[in-house]
Structure 1
Amino acid sequence: MGRGKVQLKRIENSMNRQVTFSKRRNGLLKKAFELSVLCDAEVALVILSPSGKTYQFSSNDFDTTISKYRSMGGLPDLNEIDARSVESLRNEVENLKKFAVSTEARLKQMCGEELASVGAREVKQLERHMRTGLQRIRVQKRRLLTDHIRMLKKKHKDLQDENAFLQQRMKEACKALEKRQVNKPPGIFLQDLNEVY
């Protein structure tokens, strides 16, 4: 009988998490060693624990394996990464600034401000967008009001039903009291009403 399928999610209990890390780390290191021996492969493995400890395995010299990997284009030089990432971040920031400025100008135009630089065609397009947006808002408002009215009607009907039920009980209680009040003085009516309930 095999083990059940393990659900892959973070283990909440820190003790269990540490034990699982230790066992799986050892298994991974063992598999890396077996791969290097059985297949005559050059294997380098680095494991960083949550506590900050480093575990590594290399079938040859670790630095030599990493250098070979870099020369094959697998891992770019750190200076090259920094220069490329800084340049791409600058481009992204510039694009986001332009997008923010154009979006802000569009928003102002939709509010009816700064229309001097807008042509007749763009004004018509803005008007069409505004009409469409207003129509959507009206449809949503109508739907919300209809839902609210439906809820209030249901609540009104429930209250009417409850009122009718209470009136029926009151009539029954009064009839029961009338039967009991035949020989009693009139001052005991409220006390008898409480006894009926």
Structure 2
Amino acid sequence: MARGKIQIKRIENPTNRQVTYSKRRSGLFKKAKELTVLCDATVSIIMFSSSNKLHEFLSPGVSMKEIYDRYQETTGIDIWLTQYQRMQEDLQKLNEINKGLQRQIRQRMGDCLEDLSFDQLSCLEQDMENAVQFIRQRKYKVIATQIDTKNKKDLPKEEPPYGLVDDGDYNHVLRYDKSSHVLALRLQPYPLPPNLHAGGAAGTGSGSCVTTYTLH
């Protein structure tokens, strides 16, 4: 049964369109390969799908650049000329921007002011004043941050409820009471002095004698 002809128009169904594209692309690449082998032809195919996906075929033993060079040589059309001219234009614009920026830097250093009008000088002065104000605010912020950090480092550490001072013989003990008074306790070594009153000892007659002093 003969196969009916299909109407050549855009396939509206996306799924059918993708399936048809895939099948016909494979058939086209197959024909290109056959031409390369049977006819010793150099074939290059570049395809972009509707989703902008690239598919290409290139005869073995040749690069894409060689294909382009042979095309230019045969047709006399320089396909790189337009791109080269566009690159030259972009480079010229960048050079102009660079020159303008360098001129602005020199003007802010006090140079190249001869060609400026009064209005331009006024605008430059205003720009400089705004820049100085911004720099000053930034400097003050940095200074304030440094001062705050230093003050936090210099804050006295919280004193423990009891502080011990060791002189090697454990003869001195320092204690801090809740009213921030410093009480110095001296532990008298054995034996007890004969002239020590009985009320001076904290406990029995044997052991250490404790004398308390209040320091304000």
TM-score, length-scaled by structure 2:
0.48
Is residue 109–residue 115 contact of structure 1 (8 Å, CA) maintained in 2? yes
Deviation at 1:42, TM superposition (A): 2.5
Aligned residue pair count: 129
How far apart, CA to CA, are the structure 1 residues paired with 2:29 and 2:108? 63
Equivalent of 1:161 in 142, 145, 157? 157
The code of the aligned residue for 2:151 comes to K
The code of the aligned residue for 2:117 comes to G
How far apart, CA to CA, are the structure 1 residues paired with 2:121 and 2:145? 36
How far apart, CA to CA, are the structure 1 residues paired with 2:103 and 2:82? 32
How far apart, CA to CA, are the structure 1 residues paired with 2:45 and 2:81? 21
Is residue 42–residue 59 contact of structure 1 (8 Å, CA) maintained in 2? no
Equivalent of 2:138 in 137, 140, 145? 140
Deviation at 1:39, TM superposition (A): 2.5
Alignment of 1:76-87 (within 5 A): 78=68, 80-87=78-85
Is residue 42–residue 65 contact of structure 1 (8 Å, CA) maintained in 2? no
Alignment of 1:100-179 (within 5 A): 100-157=98-155, 160-161=156-157, 164-165=159-160, 169-170=163-164, 174-175=172-173, 178-179=186-187
Cα deviation digits, residues 103-157 of structure 1 (max 9, x gap): 1111111111111111110000001000111111111111111111111111111
Structure 1: give runs of 5+ residues left out of the alignment.
1-34, 45-56, 185-197
Deviation at 1:81, TM superposition (A): 4.2
The code of the aligned residue for 2:189 comes to V
Is 1:183 aligned with 2:190?
A: yes
Runs of 4+ in 1 over 6 A off after TM superposition: none
Is 1:39 aligned with 2:20?
A: yes
Cα 1:90–1:65 change in 2 (3 A) is: closer
Using the TM superposition, name which of 83-92 and 129-138 deviates more. 83-92
The CA RMSD measured in Å over matched residues stands at 4.0
TM-score, length-scaled by structure 1:
0.52
Cα deviation digits, residues 156-175 of structure 1 (max 9, x gap): 11xx116x44x952459722
Structure 2: give runs of 5+ residues left out of the alignment.
1-15, 34-41, 49-53, 57-66, 73-77, 175-184, 192-216
Using the TM superposition, name which of 84-93 and 118-127 deviates more. 84-93
Partner of 2:45: 66
Please tell me whether Structure 1 or Structure 2 has the larger radius of gyration of its CA atoms.
Answer: 2
Structure 2 residue matching 1:60: 3-state secondary structure: helix
How far apart, CA to CA, are the structure 2 residues paired with 1:94 and 1:114? 22
Identity of aligned residues (%): 15
User: Greater helix percent: which structure?
Assistant: 1
How far apart, CA to CA, are the structure 1 residues paired with 2:151 and 2:31? 81
Structure 1 residue matching 2:125: 3-state secondary structure: helix
